[in-house]
Structure 1
C-alpha cells in the first residue's frame, strides 16, 4: 500500500466528546459516495419527474434518501468492522458462481452508471461551449465529441489528485458537491416555488400509473448500487493508517467504534445534502416547466431543451447555473464511477485492472451514443431504471453480511437495521415487478 492511500487520523481513541476538528478529519467517504446520488442520471429523472408531475413525486426522494442513508451506513460499517470491502467479503464467503453472477450485475450497473455520468459531463461542456462553437460552424455531433474528449481529460486529472494523497481527492469531490449545491440554491431563488405545494409533495405520497416509470428511475437514481460497493472501500485508508502503527487489539477496537460514530455523522450530513440538491432539481423543474402545457407550449423532454427554456423563463444566469451544475456533477460522478468499478472487479474476481485503462474502455458506449445521435435524456432515465434492477444484488449480501455476528462481532445489525434493510429490498423488488407488469400489460 502506498503512502498516498493513507490518511492521518487522531490516535487518541478515548476522547469523551466528538470535536469539530477531529470530525473534519473523518469527513469525506460519504461525500464521495453522495456525488453518485446527484449525478446526471438524477438530472434526467428529476427534470422529467418535476416537469411532468410537478411536486407530486418529492416524497419519492425523501424515502429514497432514508433508504440511501441506511445502506451507505451499513456499507461503511461493514468496511470498518471487517477491514474488507463488500465484494471482498462476498468473495470470501459465497460460492464462485454466485460471485460471478454478482460481479456481472454490478458491472452492468457500473457501465450504465458510467454511461449516464460521462454523457452528463459531455453535455455540460456542450451547453457551455456549444453556442460559441456553433457560431464558428461546428455541428452538434462534433461539439459533443469534443466535449467527450474534454471530459476524458478532466476525469483523468481528477483521478490524478489521488497521487497527491487520497485526502486531496476527497476535498476535490467535496468541492464539486458544494458547487452543485450553490448552483441549485440560485435556481430555487430564481424560480420562486410554491412552498405549500412543495411541503405537500414531500409528506403526502401520490403515485399514479403514468408516474411509475419515472418514480422507479428516481429511486434508481437516488439509491446507487455501485457506491454501496464503493463506500466499504472508501473507509479503508483511515483504518489502515491506524492499524499500520501496530496498535494493540484494544486500541484498534476503540478506534473502530469511534470511527463508526464519525462515519454515521458523515453519512447523515452528506446524504441529506444530496437529498436537498435532488429535491431542488425537482422543485426547479416543477416551478419552471410544469405549467408550460397550460400555456400551449411543448413540455420539456430533454436536458438541452431544459437549458434552452430556462434562459427565457428565469434569465441567462439560470441557464448558466444549470450547465455548470451538470458539468460538475458529470465530472465528479464519472470519477467516482471509475473508482467503484475498480473496487467491484478487484473484490469479486481478485483481478487487478488499471484504473486509467478502465476509464478508456468505458468511454466507448458513450461515444457510440453521441455518434449515433441518441437522446441523452432518454439514455439517462433508462440507465437509472437499470440501476434499480441491479440494486438487490448489492443490498441482499450487504444486509445478510452485516447481520452475521461471526463476521461483524459487536457491530452486527440490530433488529431495527435488519428490519429496515429487508424492507428496503422488498420495496425495491416490488417496484421493479410493478414496472415490469406495467411495461408488458400496456
Structure 2
C-alpha cells in the first residue's frame, strides 16, 4: 500500500533527523536548525521597511520596541516548540481538535492572508534587491520571483538538513553584510544605549511600533515552529521530551538573537546614516540605497542589496512550508507543495503588480509597511490559542506552562491585541474623515468586517475556557489505535495493473498475480497521452496508439496462456484521470502501479500520477518501485 503521512505535520520530513544515541555538542547540533528556518521570517524585507522608517524618523528611540518584540518572540516561539514536542501536533492541528469546522475555516483564511502579506513583502524585497544590484525593472523582478517555486521543490526533495543548511548560509550572508555596514557607518554607541529606554508613542510611532511587532513576531512562524521541531526523532519518555525542549530552547534563543542583531543593525544603519544627517522621511528601501551610495560610496549599498536578496529568498521558502502546515492542519487538505507555493505567490504578486502599475515604484514601500501591519493584526488569532493549548494540564501533563510563564504570555497577548485594537480604531477614524464616500464605505463595509473579526477573536479566547476538554481525546496525530480483530486474509477479485511498456511492467504484473492468483480477473491499463488522444479521445488511432494497443494485447495473450483471466483497457488523455475512470467503471477492487522514480524537477514536468490516482479512487493501491540492478 502507498505510505501515507496525512496525520503528521510536514509528513514527508517528519522524524527524519535522528537525535538519539548522541551526546555533548553532537546532540546540540542534531537539534539546531528549526529555529533558523523560523528566524528568517524575523529578518525578511518587511522588517527592513519598518526598521528603516523607524530609524530615519525617530533615530535610535524605537530600539526598545525591537527588544520588546524579540522578547515576545522568544517566549511565543518556545511555547510553539513545547506544543509540537509534547503533543506531537502543530498549532493548526491543535486548533482543528479544539474549534468547530467553521471557526477553523475562518482561522485558515486569516492565517492565509497573513502568509500572503508576508509573501508580498518577500516579493517586493527581492524585486527591489534585483533592481538595486542589477538595474532590473521592478515589474520584471516581481515576475522572476515566481521561479523560486522550483527552488523550494528541489530543496524539499533533498531533505530537511539540506534545506536548513541553505537557509543558514543565507542568514550568514545577511549577518556578514550588516556587520560590515556597521563598521562603515560607525554609529554612536551611547545613543544606541539610550534607545533601549522606553519612550511614549505618538500616532506615527505607534503605527511603526505595531509594524515592527508584526514584522518581528509573525503569526505563521508559530505554526511553522510547532511543526518543524517534529522533524527530530526523539525519545518519547519524559526525560527525552524534557531534553528535546531544553535543546530547542537554545536553538531558538541563538537564532532569534541573531535575527534581533540584524533588525537592530538595520534600524541603527538608518538612524546613523539618515536621521543624524537630517533625512527623516526615508521609508523607501530604494531611497536608503541611494543615500547610502551618496554618503558612503559603492560598498555599503552593494552589501545592502545583496543582504536584501538573501533575506527575501530565505523567507519565501519558510513561508511556503507554513502555508502547507496551515492548510493541512485547519482544513485537513493536502495539495502538491509546488502548487501550494504557486497559488500563494500568485495571490501575493497580484497586489504588487497593481501597485507598480497604479502608484509606481514609490507605492511599493507603503505597501511593504502595510503588509507588516496586516501581519500584526493576525497575531492574536495565533497567540491566544497557543497559550491555551500549552497551558492545558490535561493534554500537556507535567509539561504545561508554569503559572508565571502563562501570566507573562497573557500580558504579551493583551499588549499585542490592545495595540492592534487601538490601531484599527485610529485607522477607521482616519478613513472615515477622508471623504463622504469613504465614510459610507467605512460605516457599511469596513466597520462590520472589523466587528465580525473582533467577535471571532473573543470566541477563540472564550471557547477553550467555557468548553474545556470537549475536544476529541487525540493525544497523537494518528489518533487512538483501534482494536485488532477479524484479521482474515482479503481476497481480491478484480485487479488492475497500469502498464507503461517499461522495465516496471514485469514487476507490476508479478506483484498483481501474487495478490490474486488464478482466482482473480486482471485488467491491464495503458493510457495514450499523445496530443491527438487528448483532443479526440477514443476516436484517435494514430501510429503510437495502434502500437500501444498491440503491445498491451501481447501482455494479455501471455497471461491467458499461463492460465490467468485478463483483458486490456486503453485510456486517452490525462493519465491519472483516465486510469481512475477505468478503475471506477470496471469495479476494480485492487490496483497495482509502477513508480516512475522521478524526483524534484522531473516530478514537476512529468507529474505525479500515482498520488493523483490514489486520491481519485477508493480502493487499495500497491506502488511497485523499479528494481535497481
Structure 2 equivalent of residue 73 of structure 1: 78
Deviates more, 1:430-439 or 1:174-183: 430-439
Within 1, Cα distance between the matches of 2:37 and 2:100? 31
3-state SS of 1:301 partner? coil
Structure 2 equivalent of residue 315 of structure 1: 297
The alpha carbon displacement at 1:441 in A equals 4.6
Greater percentage in helix: 1
Structure 2 equivalent of residue 138 of structure 1: none
User: What does 1:138-149 correspond to in 2, within 5 Å?
Assistant: 143-149=137-143
Per the normalisation by structure 2, the TM-score is 0.64
Counterpart pick for 2:42 among 28, 37, 46? 37
Within 1, Cα distance between the matches of 2:144 and 2:102? 39
Counterpart pick for 1:23 among 18, 28, 31? 28
Q: Alignment RMSD, CA only? A: 1.9
User: What does 1:220-235 correspond to in 2, within 5 Å?
Assistant: 220-235=214-229
Contact 2:13–2:231 (8 Å) recurs in 1: no
Note if 1:164 corresponds to 2:158: yes
Structure 1 equivalent of residue 581 of structure 2: none
User: What does 1:41-440 correspond to in 2, within 5 Å?
Assistant: 41-130=46-135, 143-239=137-233, 242=234, 252-293=237-278, 299-364=281-346, 365-370=348-353, 372-373=355-356, 374=359, 375-440=363-428
Within 1, Cα distance between the matches of 2:89 and 2:280? 51
Runs of at least 5 residues in structure 2 that lack an aligned partner in the other structure: 6-10, 431-629
Contact 1:6–1:166 (8 Å) recurs in 2: no
* 1:267-311 deviation digits (Å, cap 9, x = unpaired): 110111111111011000111111343xxx673231111111111
Within 2, Cα distance between the matches of 1:298 and 1:99? 43
Within 2, Cα distance between the matches of 1:211 and 1:285? 15
The alpha carbon displacement at 1:371 in A equals 5.1
Counterpart pick for 2:19 among 10, 14, 17? 10
Within 1, Cα distance between the matches of 2:179 and 2:17? 34
Within 2, Cα distance between the matches of 1:125 and 1:430? 38
Within 2, Cα distance between the matches of 1:269 and 1:325? 20
Deviates more, 1:172-181 or 1:431-440: 431-440
The alpha carbon displacement at 1:4 in A equals 5.4
Contact 1:85–1:233 (8 Å) recurs in 2: yes
Larger Rg: 2
3-state SS of 2:276 partner? coil
Larger relative contact order, structure 1 or 2 (CA cutoff 8 Å, min sep 6)? 1
Within 1, Cα distance between the matches of 2:303 and 2:149? 21
Structure 1 equivalent of residue 436 of structure 2: none
CA 1:382–1:430 in structure 2 vs 1: closer, same or farther (change >3 Å)? Answer: same
Count of residue pairs brought into register by the alignment: 415
Structure 2 equivalent of residue 139 of structure 1: none
3-state SS of 1:92 partner? helix
Greater percentage in strand: 2
Within 1, Cα distance between the matches of 2:254 and 2:186? 26
Within 2, Cα distance between the matches of 1:4 and 1:109? 24
* 1:147-196 deviation digits (Å, cap 9, x = unpaired): 23433324531442121111100111111111111111111111111111
Within 1, Cα distance between the matches of 2:146 and 2:317? 10
Within 2, Cα distance between the matches of 1:232 and 1:75? 5
Contact 2:42–2:217 (8 Å) recurs in 1: yes
* 1:343-390 deviation digits (Å, cap 9, x = unpaired): 001000000022211222223332442354142211110011111110
* 1:6-57 deviation digits (Å, cap 9, x = unpaired): 43323248x6xxx222211110111101100101100110001101111000
CA 1:312–1:361 in structure 2 vs 1: closer, same or farther (change >3 Å)? Answer: same
Deviates more, 1:112-121 or 1:25-34: 112-121
* 1:309-343 deviation digits (Å, cap 9, x = unpaired): 11111221110111111101111101111110110
Runs of at least 5 residues in structure 1 that lack an aligned partner in the other structure: 134-142
The alpha carbon displacement at 1:433 in A equals 2.1
3-state SS of 1:108 partner? helix
Per the normalisation by structure 1, the TM-score is 0.89
Contact 2:149–2:338 (8 Å) recurs in 1: no
